[in-house]
């Protein structure tokens, strides 16, 4: 063996070891959703480590959405869902989007591609109740035309309800994730006020095509809507340059 080659053994932090063992408790089902983990004192004795290592490991579990920590109480195991899993991407995605106008354009393109497939599925599966809910959201959004911030929130509720029709929690999680990221990049509210009627008309067309169980028509209607409304989300650098 070449004496210049090195393959050092990296000594792991105690908190990393504790994290692995606590995560194993959760993954194995030893502690299920709604149950509490052992107390800090119990874990210190069980693993032979100090309080800082326990607390650091607990915080890492909380950051992953595996447990919730309330002051003075034992950590409680959470039910892992598609929504909570996707939310772990938020910090790095927001950092990427905030530093790169190009990434925002990529996000808008990805959202359009995703929602076009999603609305096709919604058109195939929609029940009368689903259509009624969409029309109720549409009516509420129409009543908010003078309040741009509330109008935008209703717009997002409309797209979230489309995702719910599919019955696929991953579709719902991905849709909410992308909508949440885009929410940071709404163009000036005055721009939205000038497009309320058009947005409502486009939403109505999507609903009509879903009610008719017309996947092709629903996809085409949604594609037109997103192509027209994408410019309403703008990166500050892009807005300054335009």
CATH number at residue 156: 1.20.120.530
Closest CA to 49 of 94, 23, 19, 10: 19
Q: State whether 174 and 55 are in the same domain.
A: no
Average pLDDT over residues 49-54: 92
Residues 6+ away with beta carbon under 8 Å from 209 = 123, 217, 218, 220, 221
Can you say whether the dihedral through the CA atoms of 196, 199, 205, 206 is positive or negative?
Answer: negative
Rounded CA-CA distance 44/193 in Å is 58
User: Residue 11 — pLDDT band, cuts 50, 70, 90?
Assistant: low
Strand runs (DSSP E) across the chain, as ranges?
Answer: 67-68, 76-77
Rounded CA-CA distance 77/37 in Å is 7
Q: State whether 124 and 214 are in the same domain.
A: yes
Q: What is the pLDDT of residue 189?
A: 47
Task: Give the domain-ending residue among 34, 60, 80.
Answer: 80
- Ramachandran region, residue 164 (left: φ > 0; alpha: ψ -120 to 50; beta: rest): alpha
Determine the straight-line distance between the first and last CA of the chain, rounded to whole angstroms.
Answer: 61
Task: Give the domain-ending residue among 63, 80, 97.
Answer: 80
Rounded CA-CA distance 102/180 in Å is 18
Average pLDDT, the chain: 83
Q: State whether 67 and 90 are in the same domain.
A: no
Rounded CA-CA distance 210/123 in Å is 4
Q: State whether 18 and 94 are in the same domain.
A: no
Q: State whether 75 and 117 are in the same domain.
A: no
Q: Are 178 and 111 in contact (CB under 8 A)?
A: yes
| Per-residue model confidence as pLDDT tens digits over 193-241 | 556 888 899 999 999 999 999 999 999 999 999 988 877 666 665 543 3
Q: State whether 39 and 54 are in the same domain.
A: yes
Q: What is the pLDDT of residue 136?
A: 97
Q: State whether 61 and 178 are in the same domain.
A: no
| Per-residue model confidence as pLDDT tens digits over 111-158 | 999 999 999 999 999 999 999 999 999 999 999 887 877 888 898 899
Task: Give the domain-ending residue among 55, 80, 105.
Answer: 80
| Number of structural domains in the chain | 2
| Per-residue model confidence as pLDDT tens digits over 73-118 | 899 988 876 666 666 666 666 666 666 678 788 888 889 999 999 9
Q: State whether 67 and 153 are in the same domain.
A: no
Let me know if residue 1 belongs to a domain: no
Q: What is the pLDDT of residue 26?
A: 87
Helix (H) or strand (E) holding 84: helix 82-87
| Per-residue model confidence as pLDDT tens digits over 29-47 | 888 888 999 999 999 999 9
| Per-residue model confidence as pLDDT tens digits over 166-178 | 999 999 988 988 8
């Amino acid at each position: 063996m070449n004496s210049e080659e090195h393959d050092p053994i990296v000594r792991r932090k105690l908190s990393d070891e504790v994290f692995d063992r606590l995560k194993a408790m959760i993954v194995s089902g030893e502690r299920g959703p709604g149950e509490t983990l052992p107390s800090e004192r119990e874990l210190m004795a069980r693993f032979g480590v100090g309080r800082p290592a326990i607390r650091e490991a607990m915080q890492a579990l909380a950051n992953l959405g595996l447990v919730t920590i309330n002051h003075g109480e034992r950590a409680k195991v959470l039910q892992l869902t598609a929504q909570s899993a996707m939310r772990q991407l938020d910090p790095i995605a927001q950092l990427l989007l905030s530093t790169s106008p190009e990434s925002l354009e990529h996000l808008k393109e990805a959202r359009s591609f995703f929602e076009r497939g999603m609305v096709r599925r919604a058109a195939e599966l929609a029940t009368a109740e689903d259509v009624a809910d969409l029309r109720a959201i549409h009516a509420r959004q129409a009543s908010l035309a003078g309040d741009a911030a509330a109008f935008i929130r209703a717009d997002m509720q409309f797209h979230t309800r489309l995702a719910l029709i599919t019955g696929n929690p991953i579709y719902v999680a991905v849709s909410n994730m992308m909508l949440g990221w885009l929410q940071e990049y709404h163009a000036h509210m005055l721009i939205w006020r000038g497009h309320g009627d058009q947005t409502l008309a486009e939403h109505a067309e999507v609903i009509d095509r879903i009610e008719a169980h017309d996947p092709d028509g629903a996809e085409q209607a949604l594609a037109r809507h997103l192509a027209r409304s994408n410019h309403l989300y703008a990166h500050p650098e892009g807005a300054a340059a335009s």
